[in-house]
Amino acid sequence: MSAVTGPPAELAERRDELTPMLQQYVDRCAEHDDALVLFRVGDFYKTFCGIAEEVARLCELTLIEREDSTGTYAAAGIPVDNAAEYIERLLDAGHRVAVADQVEDPSEASGIVERAVTQIITPGTVVDDELLSPDSTYVAAVVGADADTGDAPAYAVASVDVSTGECRVAPAADRAGAREEVARVGPAELISGPGTPEVDPDCPVTDWDDDAFAVDAARATLAEYADPDRFAAVEARAVGGLLAYAEYTQGDDGSLEYVSRVRRYDPADCLRLDAAALRSLELFENRAGGDREGDTLFETVNETVCALGRRRLASWLRRPLVDRAAIEGRLDAVGELSTRTLLREELRDELRAAYDLERLVSRVSRERANARDLRSVARTLSIVPNLKAALADAESDRLGRLRDDLDELRETRELIERAIAADPPQEITEGGVIADGFDEELDEVRSTEREGRAWVADLEQQERERTGIDNLEVGHNQVHGYYIEVTDSHLDSVPDEYRRRQTLKNSERFVTPELRRREDEILGAAERADALEYDVFREVRAEVAEAADRLQGVADDLADLDALLSLSTVAVGPDFCRPTFHDGDEALEIEAGRHPVVARAQAEFVPNDADLPAGGVALITGPNMSGKSTYMRQVGLIAVLAQAGGFVPARSASLPVLDRVFTRVGASDDIAGGQSTFMREMSELTDILHDATEDSLVLLDEVGRGTSTADGLAIARAATEFLHDEVGARTLFATHYHDLTALADEREGVFNLHFTAIRDGDDVTFLHRVDDGPSSSSYGVEVARMAGVPDSVVERSRELVEATDGHERAPAASTAPAATDGAGTADGESEAASDSSTPPGQQTLPGTEPEGAAADGADALAAELRELDLARTTPLEALNRLQELQDRVTDR
């Protein structure tokens, strides 16, 4: 119960004195004390007291005083007709919403109409179309095994999309694995009970009844959807507890019949991307936290034409394949579609007409579908024969299978087309829903109604002729029904059987016994027709619901086809190629690769090659903004896209099947996210060092930068050595620690790459081209010079850097097992062997004493100099900073 939810105190304490309506409100609030209760009164959802204040504040509604015999209360009302828009605001503010609807027909109620909560709307369980984005919306639960029983697996992560019925559960070996799976699912809401571990999700967490996660209760819930014996205890608890929650949120509807399959899956069966990788590769969100069109890999390659395909493509990118045959299967289909332009466009045109069949079917099963929804089901089914025909000569296995599997569901479609009116209204209780000719009884009743109306329509003319009153009129109003109106000047001509009904200013209104009889007949028939239509509609809907599984099968196939078409549409773009895969012992080779997102926005994008042998570690140096991160991400994205079954932006790509892509983006790059602490950096590094395998791709960007230079360098070096010596993962490591480049001479398989910039007068041009070998270490000072720093200061900086270079290699080398000859420095100069007497982290500066306080000062100075981020420093700042440093050196 939050501060504002639960029964308002001023009402609850005197419940018995309240009006019956407010008593009901208090009761519903008490039953749902964790949600804001919206209480249906007429055309509004009303709220009272504290809840009203909160709702009025968040929805910018007027707070009114409601007065009755028992007192005055604050009240606010949300109009039922556009409730969705307001409910969305309440959800965004972190609330849950319980909708209490009238569950009795007001005309039949004795006393106050009974209201019950029919739906609880939470961020992860919305089913209302108006509140749903086209993307998947999951609610998830994580459960840990009971430590005493030593059950395996240790954790399970369950997720369900209540709007489509997609439900899955995955085992996880440890909490990190569970956390990673939650990140991959990306739920809108996470359910937690006392036994559930903390996994820091990026979404609201809802406390949920602990009992639901107890193994017996959970198995009992699960038994309604799947055979509980297929699941380990911890999996059954996670998915059973979660489904119980989903049922609870759907109020009266109870069991979610359309959850027809609960799938178990193993996260290791896909290319694993943890939260850090999803974020830094910008798969679904750019690092600024948005998903602006074109800013993410997903938006860049999303050419789907229907919601089904959009969600499918997202799930393929979130979980790329690791099974080579399955990858090749998708690539074959993408390849075929990419070369057959006409077929591709024909299929896409057909799919544009597809509605969101998954969600429609779930609405049909939940008895929430209206007549328009059924028409949309039929419309979607009507494209199936065309798709099958278009795919008749498809050659690839995958497309052939799709063609053969696609189920036309002819009977279901015909049933809907025969039964439902062509353009039915939104409401299913007000008639006009069922087509003529479908139900005999309905047809009869309708014809009675039609005849009656025709008789009335003719009456005016007939009576004018019979009575000779030429301005006699037949009309209708709500109160008196049909009447015959005669102006006062003609009252003499009114026949005897006319009965007076109403006197107006200049006229009188009459009825006749026959008109009354006809009226009753019309009204009776209309009412009967509405009731009949409703019954017939429900029967038709129930019959369609019987085919729910088959319809979901069609939805599945349409989703696959749209996703394949999307990948093939991207594949025909300039310079995309089909990747090839090898067993993993060969190099990851990319020729003229491009970053799919950056290259799309940048016409002048410079393609780059990559050649990373098994176990190879590439150390990438180069000035800020030269393209290091882009290059590394581009390798990662090409791998992800390829394993999702897509063509890749390169001239050629020969790839291993990766098991995971790890990324660690250094502090400076993450600052925008506001969450870059050194601690976080290290814990992500720990995960990588623990979990990477020789089939993994590791992308490290400026690791160690969040701490002092010496520590950072030591950590970066040790981590690189570990990855190379112990793990054997393919690694790309972008670093500003120039000293790290010496590792290339010590370890086979470690090599240097660099990015350069060239100077032309005052202009710096970044080539964005990757080249072999390390970059020049004196680049920072060059930038300072270009920025206009005075010559004397630049000269002094150069001296300091050279001196530092000469000595700083000592600590780095001293951590390596083998002594080094110090060759292969930045400038290509050979340096003397390191001074092994210099302690780690200490440098000697020319013109200063090598010992004591002065040496410490020089150390600090050198460290500060190296940490200067020149690409992000304005000339003025640089000048001031150098002045400050110079002052310090001169004072000494």
Ligand X SMILES: Nc1ncnc2c1ncn2[C@@H]1O[C@H](COP(=O)(O)OP(=O)(O)OP(=O)(O)O)[C@@H](O)[C@H]1O
The mark string for 730-769 relative to ligand X (x by CB under 6 A, - otherwise) is ----x---------------------------------x-
Of the pair 4, 606, the CB lying nearest ligand X is at 606
Which x/- pattern, by CB under 6 A, does the window 299-338 give for ligand X? Answer: ----------------------------------------
> Is the Cβ of residue 243 or residue 757 nearer to ligand X in the bound state?
757
Cβ neighbours of residue 798 closer than 8 Å, sequence gap 6 or more? 778, 781
Q: Find the part of the chain contacting ligand X (CB under 6 A) among 18-26, 479-487, 624-632, 680-688.
A: 624-632
* Binding pattern for the stretch 353-372 against ligand X, x by CB under 6 A and - elsewhere: --------------------
**Smallest distance from ligand X to CB 793, Å:** 23
Is residue 38 packed enough to be buried (19+ CB in 10 Å), middle (13-18) or exposed (0-12)?
buried
382-402 core/surface letters (b: 16 or more CB in 10 A; e: else): bbbeebbebbeebebebbbbb
Interacting residues of 870 by C-beta distance below 8 A, sequence separation 6+: 623, 624, 780, 783, 784, 787, 878
Site for ligand X in 207-246 (CB under 6 A): none
Binding status of residue 636 toward ligand X by CB under 6 A: no
CB of 127 to ligand X, least distance (A): 41
- Is the bond leading into 153 cis (omega within 30 degrees of zero)? yes
Pattern 588-607, binding to ligand X, x per CB under 6 A? ----------x---x-xxx-
Q: What's CA 844's distance to the chain center, in Å?
A: 54
Residue selected from 624, 731, 735, 842 as contacting ligand X according to rule CB under 6 A: 624
Task: Please list the helix, strand and coil fractions of the chain in percent, rounded to the nearest 5, in that order.
Answer: 45, 20, 35
CB of 619 to ligand X, least distance (A): 13
Q: Of the two residues 144 and 780, which places its CB atom closer to ligand X in the complex?
A: 780
Beta strands across the sheet bearing 730-734:
272-273, 660-665, 697-701, 730-734, 617-621, 750-760, 763-772
Q: What is the DSSP letter of 434?
A: B
Nearer to ligand X, 144 or 593 (CB): 593
What residues are designated binding site for ATP?
622-629
The residues in 493-522 that bind ligand X, with binding defined as CB under 6 A, are none
Question: Is residue 628 near ligand X by the rule CB under 6 A?
Answer: yes
Q: Strand locations in 406-480, DSSP E?
A: 473-477
Looking at the DSSP assignment, which residues form a beta bridge with residue 169? 158, 264
863 or 871, CB closer to ligand X?
871
Q: Which residues inside 661-700 make contact with ligand X, applying CB under 6 A?
A: 669
Find the binder of ligand X among 329, 622, 645, 704 (CB under 6 A): 622
Q: How many residues bind ligand X (CB under 6 A)?
A: 18
C-alpha to C-alpha distances, 389 to 403, 447, 512, 643, nearest whole angstrom: 8, 42, 63, 30
For ligand X, which residue of 630, 731, 838, 842 counts as binding (CB under 6 A)?
630
State phi, psi for 852 to the nearest 5 degrees: 65, -150
Question: According to the binding rule CB under 6 A, does residue 777 interact with ligand X?
Answer: no
Q: Where are the alpha helices (DSSP H) in 471-615?
A: 513-546, 548-571, 596-601
Residue 304 neighbours by CB under 8 Å, 6+ apart: 310, 312, 313, 562, 563, 565, 566
Residue indicated by tokens 């964005």: 768
777 touches 801 (CB < 8 A): yes
Interface region with ligand X, contact rule CB under 6 A, candidates 114-122, 239-247, 619-627, 824-832: 619-627
- Quick one: which segment of 39-47, 49-57, 347-355, 620-628 binds ligand X (CB under 6 A)? 620-628
Contact 701, 716 (CB under 8 A): no
Nearer to ligand X, 625 or 863 (CB): 625
> Which of these segments, 271-279, 325-333, 618-626, 690-698, binds ligand X (CB under 6 A)?
618-626
Rounded CA separation 176/196 (Å): 14
Q: Which is nearer to ligand X, 258 or 605 (CB)?
A: 605
* Beta-sheet strands, E only, within 436-489: 473-477, 481-487
- Among 153, 627, 656, 822, which residue sits at the site for ligand X (rule: CB under 6 A)? 627
Q: Please pick, from the candidates 137, 221, 250, 626, the single residue that binds ligand X as defined by CB under 6 A.
A: 626
Give the integer Cα–Cα distance in Å for 504 and 501: 10
Binding mask 848-887 for ligand X (x = CB under 6 A): -----------------------x----------------
Query: Shortest distance, CB of residue 780 to ligand X, whole angstroms?
Result: 12
Lookup result for tokens 């209480």: 39
Q: Of the candidates 6, 252, 2, which has an alpha carbon nearest to the alpha carbon of residue 119? A: 252
Binding-site members are 622-629
Q: 144: burial class by Cβ within 10 Å (0-12, 13-18, 19+)?
A: buried
| Cβ nearer to ligand X, comparing 518 with 633 | 633
Residue closer to ligand X by CB (options 498, 662) is 662
Q: 208, 560, 188: which is closest to 401 by C-alpha? A: 560
Residue 861 CB, nearest distance to ligand X (Å)? 23
Q: Which is nearer to ligand X, 413 or 768 (CB)?
A: 768
Only one of the segments 196-204, 220-228, 625-633, 643-651 lies at the binding site for ligand X (rule: CB under 6 A); that segment is 625-633
Q: At its nearest, how many Å lie between ligand X and the CB of residue 334?
A: 25
Minimum distance from residue 608 beta carbon to ligand X (Å): 6
**DSSP assignment of 588-631, as one string?**
EEEEEE--HHHHHH-TTPPPEEEEE-TT-EEEEE--TTSSHHHH
Among 494, 625, 682, 863, binds ligand X (CB under 6 A): 625
DSSP per position, 800-822: HHHHHHHHHHHHHHHTSSS----
Nearer to ligand X, 765 or 830 (CB): 765
Minimal distance, residue 740 CB to ligand X, in Å: 14
Least distance (Å) from ligand X to the CB of residue 731? 16
Residue 105 CA to residue 570 CA, distance in Å, equals: 55
| Residue 140 bridge partners (DSSP) | 159, 190
Q: Which residues bind ligand X (CB under 6 A)?
A: 598, 602, 604-606, 608, 622, 624-630, 669, 734, 768, 871
